[in-house]
Structure 1
Amino acid sequence: MAVARKIKIQAFLGNLPLFNDLLAEELDRIALGTVEQHLERGQMLYRKGEPSTGMYCVVYGQIKLSSTSAQGDEKVVEIIGPGASFGEAVMFMEKPHLLYAQALADSLLLQVSRQVIFDEIDRDSAFARKLMAGLSRRVHSLVSDVEWYSLRSGAERVIGYLLRQPLEGDPAGGYRVNLPTSKNVVASRLSLTPEHFSRILHELAEARLIAVNGREVAVFDVERLRAYHPRA
């Protein structure tokens, strides 16, 4: 059983951009420092202030990274899906976690220990560069988020978010967008209150640009939606 489990971890890690250039023996070493973590929906992975012991890769499920104000208001910083990793920055800083991590769905994670990552960096400078590139992309994405939320209206944020999601359908019959998580979580991710998010969806529906049915959003005309000017 142990051998089968090890092969499973190797195969998954070997398909991730961070690890896909590593040789089999290098994946062997990393797999030895990797453990599976199963989380049920709503379960906390870690809380702000807890020590970091490594980085995480999502096999399936969704992980919400968030912060909470002194008043208890939550801000969703990022939603991590299958094939993505997180936790690298605080791992390198050797500081406590700055965010909360919670499963939005039943999830399977691989936790790669800090020590095995550090050992591999010492052996392979190319691996270190890939880690740095991944962290740089994450920082760039977060800076883009701040710029987007600071300079765009709520409606522009919602439209941009919808158009960045995978679209199912065709121009003749229209498209469908399936929200990856609850509307409250999406609203927080866009720095909107749930009420404001709902009003924007209603406004877009009144303009006959979309129709909303639970988490499914029908997009009637992508170009009209992209060109829509929100109400004053």
Structure 2
Amino acid sequence: MESIDFASTAAPAPEGALERTHRRRTAAMAQPLMAERVGAPLRAVLVEAGEWRRVPAGQALFEQGEHCETMWLLLEGSVCLGHHDSQGEWRQLRLADAGEWMGCAACWLRESHNLRAVAAVDVLAVGMSRSQIDAWATEDPAAWRAAMESVVEALAELQLQQTRQAVRRESLDALGRVSEWLLDMSRRQGGTVRFIQRKKYVASQLAITPETFSRCLRQLEEEGCIGGSGYELQILAPDRLRQRARPRRGAGA
């Protein structure tokens, strides 16, 4: 699989809302995915009035600095969230998976996005604009409240998970961070770790250098924990990786 170059800050041509018939067809095909992730009232609103986007790998769902009008639910694929530093270098913060809401804070506060969301693989997302949210709140307050509570609950769970992960990562050395990342990606991808982004961006996410990341992968391969080459790795000894990923007192990155 080709890696993605996040160095370009050029925005893709905006797709806008799909034709109504096309949107409903896409929504109907996505119903099983939506049933797993959103309640009936919100699902009905998204099917009827949501903005549906298919974003090819390497293209942006939204841009850093772009005024936010829409909150997005990721239904298929993965999205890299990060920003460009003062030297124009991409700094990745995390990888968002299907089922996650994005852009909610900026949409609610009517602010601009402070991160760039780039499709790591082909993505299907559905969005609801702030004007739609406000109209729904007026038309059906009870359903709107229940739906928004479910969104807030999902965001709270995600933030708690991210906070715990950040605190835990601080207690791990470089090898521990790489081991934990491999285990996490293995759980997401079903045993095989496929790099859907350049390794230097993974290193940025783990707060280590690309050289350190490569060195850790070589060490884990020599120890028989992982196998494979290029952009696809197999987890051969998950128990040994878990042992490596245990916090060590006084360890640094």
Output the CA distance in 1 between the equivalents of 2:230 and 2:136: 46
- What letter corresponds to residue 56 of structure 2 in structure 1? E
Match of 1:5?
23
Once the two structures are TM-superposed, the CA of residue 180 in structure 1 deviates from its matched residue by 5.0
Q: Which residue of 2 aligns with 1:197?
A: 213
Change in Cα spacing, 1:214 to 1:121, as seen in structure 2 (3 Å) is farther
CA apart distance, 1:138? 2.4
Paired residue for 1:148, among 168, 182, 190? 168
Take 1:7 and 1:213, find their aligned partners in 2: how far apart are those partners?
A: 40
Aligned residues: 222
Q: Amino acid of the residue matched to residue 57 of structure 2?
A: R
- Whether 2:81 is the aligned partner of 1:61: answer no
Q: Which has the higher contact order (CA 8 A, sep 6+)?
A: 2
Give the partner amino acid of 2:220: L
The equivalent of 2:194 in structure 1 is 179
RMSD, matched Cα:
3.0
Q: Percent identity?
A: 23
CA distance in 2, matches of 1:194, 1:71: 17
1:24-39 alignment runs, 5 A limit: 27-39=43-55
Equivalent AA in structure 2 for residue 41 of structure 1: A
TM-score with structure 1 setting the length: 0.80
Structure 1, gaps ≥5 residues long: 169-174
Contact 1:75 1:191 in 2 (8 A): no
What CA distance in whole angstroms lies between the structure 1 residues aligned with 2:196 and 2:135?
37
Task: Show CA shifts across 1:54-103 (max 9, x none).
Answer: 11122333321102221233221222233333111211121110101112
For the Cα contact (< 8 Å) 2:83–2:91, is it kept in 1? yes
Task: Give the Å deviation of 1:206.
Answer: 1.9
CA contact (8 A) 1:121 1:127 kept: no
**TM-superposed deviation, 1:50:** 1.0
TM-score, normalised with respect to structure 2? 0.74
1:133 equivalent in alignment to 2:153: yes
Distance 1:219 1:103, change over 3 A: closer
Deviation digits for residues 111-133 of structure 1, max 9, x if unmatched?
22222233445513222221221
* 8 Å CA contact 2:180, 2:241 repeated in 1: no
Distance 1:166 1:202, change over 3 A: closer
Which one-letter code corresponds to 2:232 in the other structure?
Answer: E
Map 1:81-230 to 2 at 5 A. Answer: 81-121=97-137, 123=141, 124=143, 125-166=145-186, 176-182=191-197, 183-228=199-244
Q: Which runs of 5+ in 2 are unaligned?
A: 1-18
Distance 2:222 2:243 in 1: 16
